[in-house]
Amino acid sequence: MENERDGRRLRVMDAGRRMLTAARTAPKGRGVDIIECALLDYEDMKRISEVMKEIHAETGRPVYARDAENILKGEAMVVIATRNMPLGLNCAHCGFPGCGAKPSEVPCAVNSVDVGIAIGSAVSVAADCRVDCRVMFSAGMAAQRMNLLDGCSQYYCIPLSCSSKNPFFDR
């Protein structure tokens, strides 16, 4: 007999791995893959939580303190980010007339769309696996501050849980 409670962490980690695959295979602008992603275990999540508390202390924004506690109710976390690489489309979606006029610190709009599509693909897998999740910019800011995925920007984190109630919507 296998008790459902005994295998939760393994099932959540398996769902997280599938989410990484979905993020990797999601469509990319011009077919250029600038997405980076990783699966974090609970120990990594505790480090992210501590950095979120630091950001809260610096900014006073309650979202960081609240989400720092929320993520600790999960079993794993997917991180998805993008490399900042203008794709030379001169589309002006970034608000500048073309790629050459865009300041380097301003993200390429196509990069932003790519990370969003990767996130959407990943959370659809979580739904298919019936694993609870929530996309968090706050945890993403902590991961970015930690430079978790070397050289990336626009980080988002997706904590995962397999419990009777989604803990990430406790507000």
List the CATH number of the domain containing 131: 3.40.109.10
Q: Is 35 left (phi over 0), alpha (psi -120 to 50) or beta?
A: beta
Average pLDDT over residues 82-94: 93
Look at the chain and report how many structural domains it folds into: 1
Asked if 159 contacts 139 with a C-beta cutoff of 8 angstroms, the reply is: yes
Is residue 6 very low, low, confident or very high in pLDDT (cuts 50, 70, 90)?
confident
Range of the domain at 120: 4-169
pLDDT in tens, 16-75: 999 999 999 999 999 999 999 999 999 999 999 999 999 999 999 999 999 999 999 999
30 CB-near residues (< 8 Å, 6+ apart): 87, 89, 110
Residue corresponding to tokens 């077919």: 31
* Phi, psi dihedrals of residue 162, rounded to the nearest 5°: -130, 85
